[in-house]
Amino acid sequence: MADNNILLKVGGLKVAYGGIQAVKGVSFEVRQGELVSLIGANGAGKTTTLKAVTGLQPVADGEIEYLGKSIKGQGAWDLVKQGLVMVPEGRGTFTRMTITENLQMGAYIRNDKAEILADIDKVFGIFPRLKERRNQLAGTMSGGEQQMLAMGRALMARPKVLLLDEPSMGLSPIMVDKIFEVVNDIHGQGVTILLVEQNASRALAAANRGYVMESGIVTMTGEGKHLLNDPKVRAAYLGE
């Protein structure tokens, strides 16, 4: 019998790049209301896994189920309409558009104008810095500000599951603090999150559950706080 609490379920996922198997049979699940972290070193296959889940990378084998149905082979456009929304690594903001225009682009699947405006106000409540600069071109903002904008834009699609790919990459320590504060805030508002992150300590501290990836496979799984205190994880990812 299907577990109605499982929003996203990946089983035996395999992804190949030009003959090289980048993901070698990964399985994980994300339940309603959870924050699940997928951690691992650069090149472990984390981003490739997310791209496969969101229809941006062809799947060689395995199953991807969302809301109890297979979504393998579906395009990113269709998945956003179903509430599976990713903030990509590298942010991907529309650099020649203003902050407000970027947020409006996040709501492209919607036509409820009054609620879109209300949601822009909600995003400005989460990110006051974006509100201050609402008419500024996205391309003139710092990396951290663009990360905030990319997250805000994703929220405009009203995600059932928000997938975050390396949100802290390349940011200053102060901005990393801010981004994780916002991740916790969004999760606290009831949004289910799958977080892919190289910053293992921050990712596991925030997570209900975590999965550790190495060389295209999941090598460990458990509650975030248990993985955070595991000697192997601490030695491999926290430099202890």
Return the pLDDT at 67.
Answer: 96
Average pLDDT over residues 62-78: 94
Residue 73 above 90 pLDDT?
Answer: no
In tens, the pLDDT along 203-212 reads 999 999 999 9
Average pLDDT over residues 31-47: 93
CATH code for 6-237? 3.40.50.300
Q: How far is CA 161 from the centre of its chain?
A: 8
In tens, the pLDDT along 121-145 reads 999 999 999 999 999 999 999 999 9
Residue 239 above 60 pLDDT?
Answer: yes
Return the pLDDT at 9.
Answer: 97
Beta 20-31 vs 6-17: how paired, if at all?
Answer: antiparallel
Residue 191 above 90 pLDDT?
Answer: yes
> Could you tell me what percent of the chain has a pLDDT over 90?
82
In tens, the pLDDT along 86-124 reads 998 877 889 999 999 999 999 998 889 999 999 999 999
Residue 181 above 90 pLDDT?
Answer: yes
Average pLDDT over residues 216-234: 94
Return the pLDDT at 3.
Answer: 65
Average pLDDT over residues 68-78: 92
Return the pLDDT at 90.
Answer: 75
Return the pLDDT at 1.
Answer: 38
Residue in 32, 28, 24, 34 with CA at minimum distance from that of residue 3: 32
